[in-house]
Structure 1
């Protein structure tokens, strides 16, 4: 598995994000990551992040219980509320996925509590 220590600092990170649907208690987006781009460590108070991989392989790391999950094309992976996580492309190769956030008001807390 790739090392995650060579990623850009949070203020330099960019990634392709497009909201597909935004409601009061659910948000659906598509994201694309390539190279050293990543969704930095964060967590949500009440909502889950549900990942559906469309292209490549996404690496979803969770701080609690401290693991990494490879999410390949056609696969789904859920991160429950309160669990710190980040997302990177495997080996820097492009990955694209649908992200469903809900049910509840989405928030974003940077870092790991």
Structure 2
């Protein structure tokens, strides 16, 4: 598992090449800049708003409850609550081998 702090991590389901979790970020927490070699991260905002930032190309996407957004493999991204607030979201990761490649 990753080493960044989270308020809560709930594993919903996991099978070879696919994982579904619900993550809660407390105020001030984030999923830091990273990318994945194979998997797409598909986010569904449950409590927010939340912000997903990407690089190459640079994009800032704000999600409100019920909205979703997918970040394809090999695209650097970070996730946080809007204005460093608390947020909760479901994340589907697949299809492929999961890895977490930090971005310096």
TM (norm. structure 1) is: 0.84
Instruction: Establish whether residue 63 from structure 1 lines up as the match of residue 55 from structure 2.
Output: yes
1:24 matched to 2:16: yes
C-alpha displacement of 1:92: 2.4
Q: Which runs of 5+ in 2 are unaligned?
A: none
Q: What SS does the corresponding residue of 2:90 show, helix, strand or coil?
A: strand
* 1:81 correspondence with 2:73: yes
Structure 1 segments unaligned to the other structure (5+ residues): 1-10
Structure richer in strand, relative to its length = 2
Mapped partners of 1:64, 1:20: distance in 2? 31
- Show structure 1 runs of 4+ deviating over 4 A: none
SS in 1 for 2:51: strand
Q: Normalising by the residue count of structure 2, what TM-score does the alignment of the two structures yield?
A: 0.91
Q: CA RMSD in A?
A: 1.3
Question: 2-side partners of 1:54 and 1:75: how far apart?
Answer: 8
Q: d(CA) in 2 for partners of 1:17 and 1:63?
A: 25
Aligned equivalents of 2:12 and 2:55: distance in 1? 28
